Amino acid sequence: MTTANLHPRLTVVGHPLVQHKLTLLRQRETSTGEFRRLAREISLLMAYEVTRDLPLETRRIETPLEPMDSPILSGKKLCFVSILRAGDGILEGMLDLVPSARVGHIGLYRDPTTLAPVEYYLKLPEDVRSRLAVVVDPMLATGHSAAAAVERVKQAGAEQISFACLLAAPEGLSIMAEAHPEVPVFTCAVDRCLDDHAYIRPGLGDAGDRLYGTK
């Protein structure tokens, strides 16, 4: 199955450094501190791809030698929206690249019986409607939390939205394609499937627990 069959606007970031660091991230023996560092490094590299099409304008500046017309980002910058809690594990790397970006948070947890997302927190910048909103979460597993988060960002008025994750499952991509086919999805890899507990296989385990050492 090609990526186009999984989601019409899917980008798999295949840069060798991203793939190398992802392999280290997956390993069972990777420590909490190392996992956190790798996730931050990968997300910074991913941010280059996520921001590739940001609009530019020209500004007149003075170099030490002479004036010139030089490109600079146009209009409002980015807003990163982290799906708590694991989303913060890749939020920080993206902020390393774009420190001026605004930040929003959406608190969602997965009901253990129905697997449906339940919202418990929402805080977004007031001007999110005039920014590119990048919703971030390490894993796109069932896709229900990601789709719900994107819907809440849409309800807040945002018209430019992307979604970024470290790993995706075909099932999650299918849900995102059905709910938000126009929203670009960026990931480092598309894994085989979900298991009976909605974990991505082969995956990397529970991203939140591995980021924060809670299991």
Q: Known binder of ligand: residue 144?
A: yes
Q: Known binder of ligand: residue 207?
A: yes
SS3 201: strand
Q: Known binder of ligand: residue 105?
A: no
Please answer whether residues 139 and 167 qualify as being in contact, where contact means their C-beta atoms are separated by less than 8 angstroms: yes
Q: Known binder of ligand: residue 196?
A: no
114 catalytically annotated: yes
Which of 102, 206, 210, 214 is the catalytic position? 206
Which of 3, 110, 127, 210 is the catalytic position? 110
28 catalytically annotated: no
Which of 114, 191, 192, 195 is the catalytic position? 114
CA geometry: angle 144, 154, 156, nearest 5 deg? 120
Q: Known binder of ligand: residue 1?
A: no
DSSP label of 31: -
Q: How far apart are CA 39 and CA 91, in angstroms?
A: 9
SS3 69: strand
Q: Known binder of ligand: residue 67?
A: no
Q: Known binder of ligand: residue 133?
A: no
With CA atoms as reference, report the closest residue to 104 among 94, 114, 115. Answer: 94
List, as residue ranges, the binding site.
85, 110, 137-145, 200, 205-207
Residues involved in catalysis: 110, 114, 206, 209
List, as residue ranges, the binding site for 5-phospho-alpha-D-ribose 1-diphosphate.
85, 110, 137-145, 206
List, as residue ranges, the binding site for uracil.
200, 205-207
